[in-house]
Amino acid sequence: MRDNETIAIKPVRTVLPDQAVAYLIVGVVAIFFVFFLLLPLVHILKTSFVTEGRATVGNYIEYFGKARIRRSLYNSFYVAGVTTAVTTIMAFIVAFALTRTTIRGKSFYKSVSSLPLMAPSVVQALALISLFGRNGLVTNWFGGKWDIYGPTGIIISEIFYCFPYALLILITTLSAVDTRLSEAAESLGAGPVKVFTRVTVPTARYGIFSAAALCFNLTITDFGNPIVIGGDYNVLATEIYTQVEGMQRFDLGATISVILLIPAVMAFMLNNYFTKRNYALISGAARPFLRPSSRSKRLLFSTATIIIIGAIIVIFWAILWTSIVDVWGGRAGESKQILKWLTTFSTRHYNFSHRGRSISVVWTSFWISIIVAFFGAWLTLIAGYVVEKRKPSGSQLLYLITVLPAAIPGLVLGLGYILAFVKVDWLYYKASIIILNIIVANFTLGMLSTMTNMKNIDKSIDEASTSLGADLPKSFFRVIFPLSRISFWNNILFFFERSMVTISAVIFLVSPKIQLASITIIHLIDDGFIESACAMSTIVVAIVVAVHIIFLAIFKKKGIKVM
């Protein structure tokens, strides 16, 4: 008994078959990356080998020839090396405390530890200056004669810059590696120290190496902190800037960029390698119940964690306080009356026009960040969907290209943009170049997040949609996108945050017409207006934190968990 003729089922009309649409999207994204990632890199390479119009390795000879410039390589390695060692140990201690002991206040510590991620990578140096600088709080208190500028300042700043990243990796490692291994060792008679050295550390080794590699990469490519607190101590990042901005030596700047690329990319690849190994070692078994730690263990780890996390709190407190105190360090002769000048408030530092700048830069940063967030999230979603779900041939290559930006130091990419687009009207010194740069520089993480999400959506859902007559766009918008909402909004938040706080990538791209808040902070420090720099930092952090809180509130209301 067939009654097909009751309803007229019209045949489905598709403009293009799904395969063609998939190829088209891959093609567009690939072209996008050729222009906005590969082309700038090619320009860097090209420029480094050109002196006065001739192809030569002269620049490289010059670099290694001039002692002062050559030193920057050694300095970079020294700073990165020390930072890596110290940060890895610190992060391990706190990660251990958070995952293997039963100290109280864990969620508080976790929240605070991610605070530095919401600030421009200059607040660490800024806080150090406020506390230990020539007119610093601690300097005045102890009447100290030290000089925070130089390698020490850089190292301390970088430690707190890298710390959240290293901590995240080690928390994942320590909480996922089977704790029963330690318990087995204990039952065989091993004391706590032996368990630690023979079981805990070795099983976490890939996580440790991965965290170390990441620290190295982050430190050696960081620009904000060294430029502010480095003084005469030049590292590769600051040297590039000096050559380009100071001496207009684009060729030498490009050369140093190439030199910087080598350790940066190697550290990145090491990190990748160890991360893969780390995941292989992690067992999927649920974590067994954590035995209550002994009193002495709790005391030990609580103390260590409080000190480290406390330092982060102090950094942000210093920034905030400096911005609201009338005269930091007191008026003439008041430097020892600490309590007095610490409690004399004023909002004058928030008047940026008195410092030759304008608060409008915050607004510029804000709307640029919104555009970056919108396009960044959409691009990574569509690209991630096509690469993970539709897999046309060539998507493997595209995937590799989209992972590349994470290996390139932001500074190098920024310089590449200047070299590549000097003649392009609609880009050069316009907002568009900044927006594109930030999207490309941060594409990798967004893409990875999308692809993880896509992996969790069963293949048959896409196929069911297709078999019911939906073409690729319809399947995407009606079925896939609703199921990817969480990773999409996480990406919006991620791109917004990165855009608000980024320094290295955009230092070369700003202009009198388009100024960003994060760069203005650096200029304010350059001009000696520490307090105003702190004020602007506070505003930026406040905006990012506020947006985070709003997102959290909305997600909680909708019952969705944010990653």
Partner 1 sequence: MAKDLVLEKLTKKFDKITAVRDMSLEVKEGEFVCFLGPSGCGKTTTLRMIAGFETPTSGNIYYDGKVINDIIPQKRNFGIVFQSYALFPHMTVEENVSFGLKMHKVPKQQITTRVDELLALVGLQDQKYKYPPELSGGQQQRVALIRSLATYPQILLLDEPLSALDAKIRVNLRAEIKKVQIELGITMIYVTHDQEEALSISDRVIVMNQGYIEQVNRPIEIYKNPRTKFVADFVGTSNFFEGTIQDNRVIDRNTGLEFVVSREALRSAQPQEGTVSLSIRPEKILLHKENGKVVSVQEKTNLKNGTIEVVTFLGVIVRSLIRIADKRIIVDITETDFEQHMVSMGDRVKLYFPPDEFLVFGAAEA
Which residues lie near partner 1 (CB under 8 A)? 1-2, 4, 6-12, 14, 17-18, 458, 460-461, 463-471, 474, 478-479, 482-483
Q: Which residues contact 536 (CB under 8 A, 6 or more apart)?
A: 352, 361, 362, 517, 520, 521, 524
CA distances from 506 to 368, 529, 562 (A): 12, 21, 29
Residue 9 or 67 with smaller CB distance to partner 1: 9
Residue 353 or 460 with smaller CB distance to partner 1: 460
Closest separation in Å from C-beta 1 to partner 1: 6
Q: Which residues pair with 51 in a beta bridge?
A: 54
CA-CA distance, 363 to 360, in Å (whole number)? 5
Closest separation in Å from C-beta 463 to partner 1: 6
Residue 73 or 470 with smaller CB distance to partner 1: 470
Residue 245 or 463 with smaller CB distance to partner 1: 463
Q: Which residue has the tokens 């890199």?
A: 41
CA-CA distance, 100 to 95, in Å (whole number)? 8
Residue 463 or 527 with smaller CB distance to partner 1: 463
Closest separation in Å from C-beta 486 to partner 1: 12
Closest separation in Å from C-beta 395 to partner 1: 17
CA 493, chain centre distance (Å): 13
Closest separation in Å from C-beta 321 to partner 1: 48
Closest separation in Å from C-beta 458 to partner 1: 6
Residue 424 or 468 with smaller CB distance to partner 1: 468
Residue 114 or 466 with smaller CB distance to partner 1: 466
Residue 147 or 458 with smaller CB distance to partner 1: 458
Amino acid at 559: G
* Helix count and strand count (H, E) for the chain: 28, 2
Asked if residue 352 lies in contact with residue 358, where contact means CB atoms within 8 angstroms, the answer is: yes
Residue 58 or 394 with smaller CB distance to partner 1: 394
C-beta contacts of 46-55 below 8 A and 24+ residues apart: 46/254, 47/250, 47/251, 47/254, 47/419, 48/251, 48/254, 48/255, 48/257, 48/258, 50/251, 51/251
Closest separation in Å from C-beta 7 to partner 1: 5
Containing 41, the helix (H) or strand (E) segment is helix 39-48
Closest separation in Å from C-beta 401 to partner 1: 24
Q: Which residues pair with 50 in a beta bridge?
A: 55
What is the rounded end-to-end Cα distance, in angstroms, of the chain?
A: 53
What torsion, rounded to 10 degrees, do the Cα atoms 416, 422, 424, 427 define? 60
Residue 281 or 486 with smaller CB distance to partner 1: 486
Closest separation in Å from C-beta 457 to partner 1: 9
CA-CA distance, 181 to 280, in Å (whole number)? 16
* DSSP helix/strand/coil, 54: strand
Six-digit token string for 263: 């350790």
Containing 169, the helix (H) or strand (E) segment is helix 151-176
Closest separation in Å from C-beta 38 to partner 1: 30
Residue 484 or 502 with smaller CB distance to partner 1: 484
Closest separation in Å from C-beta 461 to partner 1: 5
Report the candidate in 381, 390, 413, 374 with the shortest Cα–Cα distance to residue 495.
374
Q: Which residue has the tokens 């990578």?
A: 121
Six-digit token string for 115: 């605070």
Rounded to 5 degrees, φ, ψ at 288 are -70, 165
Six-digit token string for 552: 């959290």
Q: Which residues pair with 54 in a beta bridge?
A: 51
- Alpha helices, H only, 101-150: 106-113, 123-132, 137-142
Closest separation in Å from C-beta 9 to partner 1: 5
Closest separation in Å from C-beta 338 to partner 1: 59
Residue 180 or 478 with smaller CB distance to partner 1: 478
Residue 490 or 518 with smaller CB distance to partner 1: 490
